[in-house]
Amino acid sequence: MPVACNLDEAAVGPRSDCQQLLHMSPCHVGPHPSQWRRPWDPHARCGCEEGVGGRRQARAHQASTRSNATQAEMAVARIGLAGLAVMGQNLALNIAEKGFPISVYNRTTSKVDETVERAKAEGNLPLYGYHDPASFVNSIQKPRVVIMLVKAGAPVDQTIATLAAHLEQGDCIIDGGNEWYENTERREKAMEERGLLYLGMGVSGGEEGARNGPSLMPGGSFEAYKYIEDILLKVAAQVPDSGPCVTYIGKGGSGNFVKMVHNGIEYGDMQLISEAYDVLKSVGKLTNSELQQVFSEWNKGELLSFLIEITADIFSIKDDQGEGYLVDKVLDKTGMKGTGKWTVQQAAELSVAAPTIEASLDSRFLSGLKDERVEASKIFQGDFSSNLPVDKAQLIEDVRQALYASKICSYAQGMNIIKAKSMEKGWGLNLGELARIWKGGCIIRAIFLDRIKKAYDRNSDLANLLVDPEFAQEIMDRQAAWRRVVCLAINNGVSTPGMSASLAYFDSYRRDRLPANLVQAQRDYFGAHTYERVDIPGSYHTEWFKIARDLKN
């Protein structure tokens, strides 16, 4: 059943003069009134319907004319959205605010009512709520486009089944959740067999981004993308020097895959920032007030980003339920929803080194062992600090440089995962364009991304971000500070797995010879896995055990 202020009630035929005024309210924006109608609100009171008799007559007239109402009269929304948790609500309101009438549906009907009320309160936006899927689908103009924002996995399949029962050939479903890319490809194929189009669209930016402009990563049917390109271009975050933060990513599950790796990079970024905080607090003894000032200052330079900005904000917020700062009362256990784990799994499947992202995931696993860590701290008691004097100003500058250099490595790893998958699947992804659409709206948005875009614009076949001339120079300029920070942390018993992994990644990548020769010799010794030589072409096997035994004798 539709709720007040929806389009199912709109298809009831002729209205009274007061109904027509409600019906054609000029406060809505979007398509011309001839293309859509604002529904009659049955709770509105006006003179021509005053009293029981008038209301009965109106209802009788609605009933007699409802069967004659055409679907075209009912189809007044440009797009639909199913799934009204906070992200879904905010994206729907964003779409409506940009001038596109939208219908919304949720299995829990109270969420529908809540969204309709928000639309009224936030500017009487052209948003219409429905309590049943049939009315919801029929309210959308053909070819119909429905965005889903529901929990990944089985709930997506259930929602697709509910919607597809009412959709027609040529209609389109868009999954805007953090879904496993292979599920998207399976569903796209299944929908194609039914004559439906399908997109998997990554949406980044959290609640604020969804409402005011997210970064959008749609992949799948290009035809489906063209259906809603005009909507996405307006709804996405707008960056003055590079445009809307949306682009067609590519075929199949590429949109979901790119969003997954985006989240993996986000894991690395957050871990590195937390390590910078730990070194400054534990070794440098900075107060929360000083940390707020440091991060605020960092946000004016090369580290300018959403995550640095909100970190500075966090250090300024006092506890409203006790003494001190709120950050110190937050339990040191980091949650996760799976995209970071998927990223690391894909890196392993693709044989792409991603130690910074992996370290961030391991750190979340270790943070979850809170009770074990508390017990371990009782066993391993002692003073792990070096007790050497620390130049606070020098430490702050060194940590800034170490954080920046480590970030380059984290992004390089993420981009290499995307590049490897693109080559495997034949997606033809444009890494520079991905950096562009991450410049605004998303969680990892940063001024730094403009540099990455330019690096791939200079050389689209860049083997690794580290070897771009500008980034290579920046890392070389910062490596001394980077090493000082990692060594200082080790000497004071402070773990910096992300920074250490990033530095090890850089040191391994920059060396023309690694100790891998010994590992391969070991493999050939116990498993006859063969090896290659540096001086003679071909594959070789040596009877290491026999030779070693003879030498011992």
Helices (H), 368-468: 370-379, 392-425, 431-437, 448-458
Query: Residue 385: what pLDDT?
Result: 80
Query: Residue 241: what pLDDT?
Result: 87
- Percent of the chain whose predicted confidence (pLDDT) is above 70: 86
Task: Spell 88-126 as b/e; 16+ CB within 10 A means b.
Answer: bbbbbbbbbbbebbbbbbbbebebbbebbebbeeeeebb
Residue 15 binned pLDDT confidence (cut-offs 50, 70, 90): very low
Q: Which amino acid is at 89?
A: Q
Cα 284 from Cα 256, distance rounded (Å): 41
3-state helix, strand, coil in the chain (%, to 5): 55, 10, 35
CATH superfamily of 260-283+313-438+448-510: N-(1-d-carboxylethyl)-l-norvaline Dehydrogenase; domain 2 (1.10.1040.10)
Query: Residue written as tokens 């290579």?
Result: 472
Question: How is residue 357 written in tokens?
Answer: 């992202």
Q: Which amino acid is at 452?
A: I
Higher pLDDT, residue 21 or 127: 127
Q: Cα separations (Å) of 474 from 117, 369, 387, 451?
A: 51, 37, 32, 11
Q: How many other C-beta atoms lie within 10 A of the C-beta of residue 262?
A: 24
Query: Residue 450: what pLDDT?
Result: 93
Query: Residue 388: what pLDDT?
Result: 81
pLDDT tens, position by position, 262-300: 999 999 999 999 999 999 999 999 999 999 999 999 999
Q: Tell me the catalytic residues.
A: 259, 266
Query: Residue 63: what pLDDT?
Result: 28
Element (H, E) at 173: strand 172-175
Vertex 172, ends 166 and 174: CA angle to 5°? 110
Q: Which amino acid is at 51?
A: G
Q: Where are the domains of the chain?
A: 79-248, 260-283+313-438+448-510, 515-551
pLDDT higher than threshold 60 for residue 17? no
Query: Residue 60: what pLDDT?
Result: 30
Q: Do domains 79-248 and 515-551 have the same CATH topology?
A: no
Pairing of strands 243-244, 238-239: antiparallel
Cα 24 from Cα 33, distance rounded (Å): 7
Residue 470 binned pLDDT confidence (cut-offs 50, 70, 90): very high
Give me the mean pLDDT over the 492-507 stretch: 97
Q: Cα separations (Å) of 214 from 101, 176, 210, 453?
A: 19, 12, 5, 19
Give me the mean pLDDT over the 195-218 stretch: 95
Q: How many other C-beta atoms lie within 10 A of the C-beta of residue 142?
A: 12
What CATH number does the domain located at 79-248 have? 3.40.50.720
Give me the mean pLDDT over the 44-64 stretch: 34
Contact 249, 429 (CB under 8 A): yes
What CATH number does the domain located at 515-551 have? 1.20.5.320
Residue 384 binned pLDDT confidence (cut-offs 50, 70, 90): confident
Give me the mean pLDDT over the 318-330 stretch: 95
| Average pLDDT over all residues of the chain | 87
Q: Which amino acid is at 232?
A: L
pTM, rounded to two decimals:
0.84
